[in-house]
Structure 1
Amino acid sequence: MKQMKFILTCAIFLSSFIGFSQDTLMVSKNDLVQKVTDKNLQLKITEKSYQSAKADYNQSNALFLPNINVSYTGISTTNPLMAFGSKLNQEILTQADFNPVLLNDPAKIQNFATKIEIQQPLINIDGLYERQAAKAKMEAFRLQTERTKEYLELEVSKAYMQLQLAYKAVKVLEKADVTGKANLKLVENYFKQGMLQKTDLLNVQVRVNEINNQLQYAKSNVQNASDYLAFLLNEDTNGKVFKPLEELENTISIESLNTEISENRKDIQAMNKSSEAYKKMIQSSKMGFLPKLNAFGSYELYDDKFLQTDAKGYLVGAQLSWNVFDGYKSIGKYNKAKADFQKAEVETEQYKKQSQLELNKTNRQLKDAENKVNLSQLAFEQSQEAFRIRQNRFAQGLEKTTDLLQSETQMIQKELEHLQAVFEYNFTKQYLQFLTK
């Protein structure tokens, strides 16, 4: 019987352990960064926009490549002109066909024509600039995709640190819960001995319940941080909880500040490429006033029987066309392209100034965060010492219960504040690196 109970106990323990290992996934920051670049939905949307712009650019290959069309047509007609022309194309015209009676009222004739047409652009200067504009647009989307990838790496890093912070908060509150219950046990003993009043016991019980409630909130924050990471990775949560392999550090490393926005930043390069695309469209609109030169040719096969090709002929030529006046359409197109270019230039300038403004603000935030970390660390150390002294004095009956509880609350609060300050500093530093990347 004892052996059976032992086996059942082991089975229950193993099943609970397996269930926990399935729900809690250990993750590292590097693995998450790799996953987000492969699976994130926002990045996939940006990549599709780039592919769309690339397809637009590929369409401009028509500026150099021929347009080839093949057709096969069958007709049956008594139309005088069509009948005469069909016989002429079939090379079966005779002297008798010039009889006015037959010309005016021909018999039904069938004609089957195979036609191969080729159109080859030669000189289309406006098209060249349109192609350059499409290429600049494609490059802008490529750079924007790379910037989106950098942003997602930052967002994953932030989410990972939030997960670290959530686990650290759980750890702090679990330690506080153990301390609170130990104090409760001590107070209960004093109360039984008549050394404390019931109000003291109730105050400690309330405090233990408060810590327990805070602990539940902290565990919920772990789940929230895990859910957000799963969203970034485009994974179903299904109750899974991520756990970081590295813990949140209690200290920070100070780095020098960068005060200038780099012109090599991917999003700024993308804005410049977008302005370049609009500039090329202005030049294309200008070149639209010039003539165009295109070559054309065709090879034709005719017969009065289906799929026969007894008669053959070809046609080659070139066309120089010049649209002299189109009712101000070309002028309006040029003015629109000019306005779009000027708008793009202003937007680029505004974006650069906003980016510099954000950089200056982040630099100040980093200095403030550094100061906050130092002060919060000092406050935490002081609150630790104050709690230790009050706890020893309380054990000797020299401190009130309320003073001990207040000191304990302050110590926990200062430790959590210090962890939050470290998180804010580390994220601000990474955000600053992102702004100057």
Structure 2
Amino acid sequence: MKKIKVLIISTIAMTSYMANSQDTLSISKSEVLEKVLENNLQIKVAEKSFESARGDYRQSNALFLPNINASYTGISTTNPLMAFGSKLNQEILTASDFNPALLNDPDQIQNFATVIEVKQPLINIDGLLGRQAAKAKMNAFQLQTERTKEYLELEVSKSYMQLQLAYKAVIVLEKANATAKGNLKMVENYFKNGMLQKTDLLNVQVRVNEIANQLQYAKSNVQNASDYLAFLLNEDTNGKTYKPSEELESTIAIENINTSLSDSRKDIQAMEMSSEAYRKMYQSSKYGFLPRLNAFGNYQLYDSKFLSTNAKGYLVGAQLSWDVFDGFKNIGKTQKAKADFQKAELETEQYKKQSQLELNKSNRQLLDAENKVNLSKLAYEQSQEAFRILQNRFTQGLEKTTDLLMSETQMAQKELEYLQAVFEYNFTKQYLQFLTK
């Protein structure tokens, strides 16, 4: 019976271990980036916006291509005019049909007509400008889609580093937890031997509980960072936890980065292209006063029997038309288009200035981050040395318990601050590269 219980416990433990190992998925940064570019919803939304704009542009092909329409109509009538016209179209009119009695009161007649109609635009200036506006709009959405992909590359890098930092924080706090428990064991021995007061023991126990609480928060941060990574990947979490297969960088690499704002940046180009689209729309509305020239033609087949085509005829022509006055509708449309164009120009100028402002701010942040890394690294190294000295003196009975606790707390805190500073520097550098890309 005892062996059976041991076997059951072992099986449960092994099953639990396998479940945990299945739920924790190791993933590299390159894998994340590849999946994000393929599955991310933000990219798909941007691509659909581009496809919508491309559909608008393709509609403008009607300016060059003919409009072809075919129809088949059947009627039965005793209407004098329709009856006479139907006989005329069917080419069966005779002299007797001019009898006034038959003209005024004709017999019922059937007419089946097949009409193939073609309309071909020839000159349409405002339509051509509207087509150019649609193309500029399409190009703007294409550039915006490319910029969205560049932004998500940055976001992937940031979220991956956050996940690395979260795991590293767990490791640091687990080490601090082990150190605190070791100190607690040592203090408990001193207390049993009457070398320390109970307040010293209680202080150490409080510190152990604090670290355990911090460790739990750090583990929750790991899951939060993993969930956000799953969101970028457009995948359900379902209890899964991602684990980075690459270690967090613990050093920084100083690089010279071009700090000038480039007009070739995709989002700035998209803003300028959008402004160009509004300019073309404004020009299109101004040229809406000009006449339009269109050609048309149709081919007709008539008969009194269903699906028969004994009589045939055609019609070709051209039409020059323009709106002389439409109750200020076109004038108002032109005024609106002009205001939209000027607004787009102002928004583009404002966006450039905001981008330059953000670039200047990021330059200063990078310098601050570099300084913070250097200072936090020095503070971490000093805290390590201070803790080593205090621990040695404490074992010799030369230091207080509270001093040891404060030193141990400071060391863990400084290590986390240093890792956070490295993360901030590396992300700021990548963000600066994104702003100048």
- Partners of 2:208 and 2:327 in 1: CA distance: 84
Instruction: Tell me which residue corresponds to 1:114.
Output: 114
Shift of 1:180: 0.6
1:2-35: per-residue Cα shift (whole Å, max 9, x none)? 9877765654453233212211000111111111
- Partners of 2:56 and 2:241 in 1: CA distance: 43
Aligned counterparts, 1:3-402, within 5 A: 11-402=11-402
Unpaired segments ≥5 residues, structure 2: none
In the alignment, is the contact (CA less than 8 A) between 1:165 and 1:420 conserved in 2? yes
The residue type paired with residue 179 of structure 1 is: T
1:240-289: per-residue Cα shift (whole Å, max 9, x none)? 11111111122111112422111110000000100111111122122222
Moved more, 376-385 or 279-288: 279-288
- Partners of 1:253 and 1:2 in 2: CA distance: 60
1:308 is paired with a residue whose SS is coil
1:163-195: per-residue Cα shift (whole Å, max 9, x none)? 011000000000011111111110111111111
Q: Aligned pair 1:436/2:416, yes or no? A: no
In the alignment, is the contact (CA less than 8 A) between 1:257 and 1:363 conserved in 2? no
- Partners of 1:325 and 1:72 in 2: CA distance: 37
- Partners of 2:436 and 2:61 in 1: CA distance: 37
1:302 is paired with a residue whose SS is strand
- Partners of 2:249 and 2:14 in 1: CA distance: 33
In the alignment, is the contact (CA less than 8 A) between 1:161 and 1:248 conserved in 2? yes
The residue type paired with residue 349 of structure 2 is: E
The residue type paired with residue 385 of structure 1 is: E
The residue type paired with residue 342 of structure 2 is: Q
- Partners of 1:49 and 1:32 in 2: CA distance: 24
Moved more, 317-326 or 38-47: 317-326
- Partners of 1:299 and 1:90 in 2: CA distance: 14
The residue type paired with residue 395 of structure 2 is: A
2:70 is paired with a residue whose SS is strand
- Partners of 1:303 and 1:399 in 2: CA distance: 117
1:324 is paired with a residue whose SS is coil
- Partners of 1:222 and 1:11 in 2: CA distance: 28
- Partners of 2:6 and 2:316 in 1: CA distance: 97
- Partners of 1:257 and 1:321 in 2: CA distance: 60
Q: Taking structure 2 as the reference length, what is the TM-score of the superposition?
A: 0.98
- Partners of 1:314 and 1:328 in 2: CA distance: 39
2:256 is paired with a residue whose SS is coil
Q: Name segments (4+ residues, structure 1) moved above 3 Å.
A: 1-14
- Partners of 1:96 and 1:104 in 2: CA distance: 13
- Partners of 1:44 and 1:322 in 2: CA distance: 43
1:154 is paired with a residue whose SS is helix
2:312 is paired with a residue whose SS is strand
The residue type paired with residue 419 of structure 1 is: L
2:289 is paired with a residue whose SS is coil
Moved more, 49-58 or 101-110: 101-110
- Partners of 2:405 and 2:330 in 1: CA distance: 81
Instruction: Tell me which residue corresponds to 2:404.
Output: 404
The residue type paired with residue 95 of structure 1 is: A
- Partners of 1:258 and 1:117 in 2: CA distance: 62
The residue type paired with residue 116 of structure 1 is: I
- Partners of 1:161 and 1:424 in 2: CA distance: 10
Cα RMSD of the aligned pairs, angstroms, is 1.4
Moved more, 320-329 or 224-233: 320-329
The residue type paired with residue 362 of structure 2 is: T
- Partners of 1:346 and 1:283 in 2: CA distance: 18
- Partners of 1:56 and 1:418 in 2: CA distance: 53
1:305-349: per-residue Cα shift (whole Å, max 9, x none)? 111111111111111112222222222222221111111111000
Unpaired segments ≥5 residues, structure 1: none
Q: How many residues align?
A: 437
- Partners of 1:99 and 1:13 in 2: CA distance: 108
- Partners of 1:183 and 1:323 in 2: CA distance: 92
- Partners of 1:101 and 1:429 in 2: CA distance: 97
- Partners of 1:197 and 1:24 in 2: CA distance: 45
In the alignment, is the contact (CA less than 8 A) between 1:68 and 1:116 conserved in 2? yes
In the alignment, is the contact (CA less than 8 A) between 1:379 and 1:414 conserved in 2? yes
2:255 is paired with a residue whose SS is coil
In the alignment, is the contact (CA less than 8 A) between 2:257 and 2:433 conserved in 1? no
The residue type paired with residue 267 of structure 2 is: D
1:330 is paired with a residue whose SS is helix
The residue type paired with residue 353 of structure 1 is: K
1:288 is paired with a residue whose SS is helix
The residue type paired with residue 52 of structure 1 is: S
- Partners of 1:2 and 1:367 in 2: CA distance: 66
- Partners of 2:9 and 2:288 in 1: CA distance: 86
In the alignment, is the contact (CA less than 8 A) between 1:166 and 1:219 conserved in 2? yes
- Partners of 2:175 and 2:322 in 1: CA distance: 85
In the alignment, is the contact (CA less than 8 A) between 2:26 and 2:244 conserved in 1? yes
